[in-house]
Structure 1
C-alpha cells in the first residue's frame, strides 16, 4: 500500500535534516553538546562576548584599589562569570531547576550592584550580562519586564558612581538589545526543540505505520494462502489412492499457490504489494470451489474506470479477507459477491449462508477496517437477510466517467 504524500514528504524532510545534522561538527541548537569538541565550540561562541569583561579586569590590573578590594573584586568577578556561564551555557541546552535559576540570577544581580558601587564605573558593564542572563533563562513574559528593570537598576547604580554618566548612557542600549536578543534566541531554541521532537515523532510514527502495514499484509496474505493450501491438501489426501491423477493436480495447485504466496510476501515486505479486484475474484473462485462452497460471482464486475488504484487495492483486500473468513469459519454452502454503486461509493458485498459471526471481530476485520479508512472508505458487517454473515466494504469513486456497474439504492 502506498504512503500518503504528506507522509513521504515528512519522511524525506526528516532524512534530509538528519543528514544535515550529521554533516556538521557544531552542536545542534537547543541541544547539549555530544562530545568535547562540540562543548568547546559552544563555549567559544559564548566566550566571544566575554571580551567586554576587559573593563573590570583592566580596572583590577591598574592597581587603583587596595589589596583587599582588588582580591574581593577578583573573587566577585570570578563568581559572577562562573554563574553567568552556567546559566547561559547549561540552561540553553538543558533546563535547570527553577530554584537554581532564581538563586543564580539573584546572585549575579547582587554582585553587579555591589561591585559597581564599591569599585567604580568600569563595573557597570556587568549589568549588560545580567540582562543577557535574564533573556537566556527567563520566560518571555518575565523577561520583557526583568530586562528593562535591570537596565533601570544599572542607571540607578550609575548615578551613585561619580563620573559614570557617559559610560552609563552608552550601556543602556546594549543592555536592552542584548537582553531582548537573547530572549529571542531562547524562543528560537524552544522552537527548535519542539521541531526536533516533532521530527522524532514523525520517524516513530513512520516506523509504527510500516510495522502495522506489514502485519496486515502478512495476515491477509498468509491467512488466505495457507487456508487454500490446507483445503487442497485435504482434497489430495481424500483422492489417494483411488484418483492419483486428480490428487496430482491438487498437489500441483498447492505448489502454485505456495509459490505465489512467496512472491506476495516478498512484495509485501518491500512495500510494492497492491492487489487488484480481478486477481482477487479469480482467487476467490478457486478458494470457494476448493472448499466445496458454491460461488455466485456473476454480479461482481471487475472493470471500474472511476475506481482509483488505492481504493481498488482496499476493496481487493476486503474481498480476500471476506472469502478467507467464509472458507475458514462460516461453514457455508453458498457465497455471493457483488459490486454495486452506492451514491459516490463503490460497494463490495460478500454474503454467505453459514452460521454467522460469533464473538468480537478478529485481527483480520480490524486490519481491514483500517485499510479502508486509509482509502477514505468504510467497513460494515452484520447478519445477512436470510442468516449467515454479510460484509460490505465501501470506497469512494472518482467521477471522471460513468461507472458501468449495477446500481443499488443507498441504504
Structure 2
C-alpha cells in the first residue's frame, strides 16, 4: 500500500482488490446486454462504461497515495460528466456510477476537499434520481454505499499516504545510520592508526640509531614495535566491530610511553583517574581526546615538555594537554574535528588554542553524573 507495484503479481493483486467493487456494475452491464435500448444506444453505452471503468481504475490505482495533481480534477470531472450523461440517457441502472465517483473523490482529493466533493456528488445523485422515472425505490440503496464508500476511501488514502511516508522515513533512517557508522569507523581508524603508527615510526627511528652501537636496546625497541603493531591490529578489529572503548588508565600509560619514546618530558602529576562519577561514555570520550592530543604533540609540535592534567571543575571533568612546541598552525585537521564530534555525543566540549606560555593547549570537558542521596 502506498507504493507502485514492483511486479506483475503485485499489479494483479491491486487490480483484483479494486475489481471486487465492480460487481456493482452488473446492473449497467445487464442493461446494455438486454433488449432495453437500440443497438446504437447499447454500443455507445458499452463504450461509455468501458471509458468510465478505465478512468476510474487509473485514478484509484495511481493517485491514492500521491499529492493532488491537476489531472485528478480533470479525471473526476470526466467521471462525473459520464455518470450524468449515462444516467440521464439510459436510465436508473446507471445511477450506480455516482457511487464510483464518490469513491474516486475520496481516493484522489485531500481530506477537506474530498468531504465537500463527496457531498456534492451525493447531491447530484439525488437530483438525477429524482429526475429519473422509477428511481425512487433505488435511492436508499445507492445513497448509503456512495456515502460510506467515499468516506471509507478517504481513510484508505490517508493510510496509504502514511504508509508511503513511513517507508520514506525508514529509508532515510537507514541511510543516516549507515553514514553515522561510516563516520564512527573513520574516527576510530584515524585515532587508532594515527597514534599507533606514530609510535611505531618513532621506535623504528630509535632502533635504527641504536643498531650499530647498542644492539640490545635496538632489539628492545623492535620488540616494542611488534607489541604496538599487534595491539593496533586488535584495536582496529574492535573498532570495526564497534566494541572499542578506551579507558583513561590505559591512555595515560600509553601517553607516558609515547612521549618518552619521542624524547618529550611528560608531567603527569595531575592526571589521576579515580573518578567514580564519570560514566563510561564520557570516560571513553576523554580517553580519545588524550590519545589524539598526545599523537599531535608527538607528530607535529616539536615540543620538549608536555603537561597532562585531569581536574574537576564544578560538575565537569576537564582534561588539559599543554605543550611548549610550535603552537597551532592553520585549520584543525580531521582528528580534532572527529574529536569534537565524539565529545558532542557525550554532551562535552572541546577547546583548543595557544597555551599560557606558548605552544598549544587542548582542553576537553565532559559532565559528571552526581548520585543524589535518597532520604528515608
Shorter chain as denominator, the TM-score bin is over 0.9
1:32–1:94 Cα contact (<8 Å) kept: no
Is 1:260 equivalent to 2:231 in the alignment? Answer: yes
Whole-angstrom distance in 1 between the partners of 2:2 and 2:193: 48
In the alignment, what sits opposite 1:135?
106
Measured against aligned partners, the alpha-carbon deviations of 1:67-123 in whole angstroms (never above 9, x if no partner) come to 11111111100100010001101223666x823322221111111000001111111
Alignment correspondent of 1:33: 5
**3-state DSSP class of the match of 1:133?**
helix
Q: 1:151 aligns with which of 107, 115, 122?
A: 122
Equivalent position SS for 2:358: coil
Contact 1:233 1:254 survives alignment (8 Å): yes
Distance 1:195 1:342 in 2: 45
Match of 1:69 among 41, 55, 76: 41
- The whole-number CA distance in structure 2 between the counterparts of 1:321 and 1:98 is 55
Aligned-partner SS, 1:395: strand
- Residue 292 of structure 2 corresponds to 321
By how many angstroms is 1:401 displaced?
8.2
Q: Which runs of 5+ in 2 are unaligned?
A: none
Q: 2:57 aligned with 1:85, yes or no? A: yes
Structure 1 runs (4+) deviating above 6 angstroms are none
RMSD: 1.3
1:205 partner SS:
helix
Task: Give the superposition deviation at 1:287.
Answer: 0.3
**Contact kept? 1:112, 1:127, Cα under 8 Å:** yes
2:4 counterpart SS class: coil
State the alpha-carbon separation in 1 of the partners of residues 135 and 310 from structure 2.
90
Alignment-derived partner of residue 24 in structure 1: none
Residue 94 to residue 148, structure 1, CA distance change in 2 (3 Å) = closer
Given that residues 65 and 164 in structure 2 are in contact (C-alpha distance below 8 angstroms), is that contact kept between their aligned partners in structure 1? no
- Aligned partners of 1:221 and 1:231: how far apart in 2? 16
The answer to whether the Cα contact below 8 Å between 2:189 and 2:236 also exists between their aligned partners in 1 is yes
Query: Is the CA contact (8 Å cut-off) linking 2:327 and 2:359 kept in structure 1?
Result: yes
The answer for the alignment partner of 1:354 in structure 2 is: 325
Tell me the TM-score normalized by structure 2. 0.97
Aligned partners of 1:231, 1:139: CA distance in 2, in Å? 69
Aligned equivalents of 2:54 and 2:168: distance in 1?
A: 31
Distance 1:98 1:206 in 2: 34
Which residue does the alignment assign to 2:271?
Answer: 300
Moved more, 30-39 or 272-281: 30-39
C-alpha displacement of 1:170: 2.3
> Contact 2:76/2:105 (CA < 8 Å) preserved in 1?
yes
Alignment of 1:143-292 (within 5 A): 143-292=114-263
* Aligned equivalents of 1:369, 1:98: Cα separation in 2: 47
Instruction: Give the deviation of 1:400 after TM superposition.
Output: 2.4
Distance in structure 2 (CA, Å) of the matches to 1:390 and 1:115: 86
Give the match's secondary structure for 2:365.
Answer: strand
Cα distance in 2 for partners of 1:291, 1:177 equals 82
Unpaired runs of at least 5, structure 1:
1-28, 403-411
Matching residue of 1:373: 344
Task: Give SS of 1:194's match.
Answer: helix
SS at match of 2:198: helix
CA separation of 1:401/1:130 partners in 2, compared to 1, >3 Å: closer, same or farther? closer
- Secondary structure at 1:274 match in 2: coil
Preserved contact between residue 2 and residue 160 of structure 2 (Cα < 8 Å): yes
- The alignment partner of 2:35 has SS state of coil
Aligned length: 373
Q: Tell me, in whole angstroms, the C-alpha distance in 2 between the residues paired with 1:304 and 1:187.
A: 54
What's the counterpart of residue 23 of structure 1?
A: none
SS of the residue corresponding to residue 6 of structure 2 reads coil
SS in 2 for 1:260: helix
Distance 1:98 1:338 in 2: 65
Partner Cα separation in structure 2 for residue 401 and residue 34 of structure 1: 57
Report deviation, 1:183.
1.1
Do 1:277 and 1:312's aligned partners in 2 also have CA atoms closer than 8 Å? Answer: yes
TM-score (norm 1): 0.89
